[in-house]
A and B are shown apart, each in its own frame.
Chain A
Amino acid sequence: MTWRLRVDPIACTGHGLCAELLPETIDLDEWGYPIIGSLSDGLLPLARRAVADCPTLALLLERDRTR
């Protein structure tokens, strides 16, 4: 089972916690909004933490059906 992260662009207000918690996968653009990269399975626990800690609950962890 592979997973991927997705940002709800309307809910996201650019706190940037996700990039602090998961720098392997998430970069911030110049306005502080996340750019999501690929997520390896080993990072899944950290990804869950980033999802739970997002101040606006804008980070979503979904099953990747495209791969």
Chain B
Amino acid sequence: MSLLWYATRATGEITLLFLTVVLTFGVLSALRVGGRRVPRFVIAGLHRNLTLAGLGFLAVHIATTVADSYAPIALTDVVVPFGSAYRPIWLGLGTVAFDVLIVLTATSLLRTRMGYRRWKALHWAAYACWLAAVVHALGTGSDVRSSLFLLLAGVCAAVALAAVAWRLAAAGPGKTGLRAGAGLLTLATVLVVGAWTVSGPLADGWARRSGTPASLLGKASSPGPGTAGRTPTPRPTRATRSAGDDERGDGE
């Protein structure tokens, strides 16, 4: 069972990496980056094919999450957000990101049939999709307090922010108000998510506050017969984690 949960965490983090790289390649193609050395069709191709590869990791991430019996996550939670028994809001954001990603991929593959304007209007949602995925990772992730995860999330956020900033700066003349508004919205999002990360997932008692079922919280503080046979894996963050806070990290 713990193998499934480790697979879930690993593939989730890989998917976050993929989404960030894909977002960056999307911005690069919108900014017409490319020339003789790296032709533009290569950047467009990487944007598409890395999305499809990322979807593969995401499929494993979702399948292992549902298959793992530790947390009560049902099959409906894969597509219907905010209804799960386990951390409903933060798991639900992952579901939202998944739904949006599926819609964006499908509409991009059928792009020639739906028209450029409709496709593009929809494709702006990619930024929201990335944000939902990041907040999902921070809100449900079992490894949020590990320094490696924080490094990964930090690098992903920095890369995505740089891409967005470049996109806004280089969007060409006109629409100054819209671009300034988007810039302010980005800044506000960074501040809100940053403050929430420090006061939420990184603070004590997040497992309880995020909506983890009480039965799971109990299991962690007093290992029952189900967890007795398992060897706890020491991880760099064990020292900083208070008992019973992250039920996953201590129980498995």
Residues of A within 8 A of B (CB): 11, 15-17, 20-21, 51-53, 55-57
Contacts and interface: CB of A to CB of B under 8 A. Distances in A.
A57 B110 CA distance: 12
Interface string B38-56: 0111001100000000000
A55 B33 CA distance: 13
A40 to B, nearest CB: 20
A51 B40 contact: no
24 contacts: A11-B116, A15-B32, A15-B40, A16-B40, A17-B40, A17-B41, A17-B44, A20-B39, A20-B40, A20-B41, A21-B41, A51-B112, A52-B111, A52-B112, A53-B41, A53-B45, A55-B29, A55-B30, A55-B44, A56-B116, A57-B111, A57-B112, A57-B115, A57-B116
B116 to A, nearest CB: 4
Nearest to A61: B112
Contacts of A11: 116
Nearest to B120: A56
Majority secondary structure, B binding face: helix
B30 to A, nearest CB: 8
Interface residues on B, range: 10 to 19
B38 to A, nearest CB: 11
Interface in B186-217: none
A15 B29 CA distance: 9
A12 B45 CA distance: 19
Interface in B86-122: 111-112, 115-116, 119
A55 B31 CA distance: 11
A11 B120 CA distance: 13
A56 B112 CA distance: 10
Contacts of A53: 41, 44-45
A53 B29 CA distance: 11
A19 B88 CA distance: 49
A37 B172 CA distance: 31
A16 B114 CA distance: 22
B105 to A, nearest CB: 14
Nearest to B40: A17
Contacts of B32: 15
Contacts of A21: 41
Nearest to A49: B41
A53 B48 CA distance: 10
A59 to B, nearest CB: 10
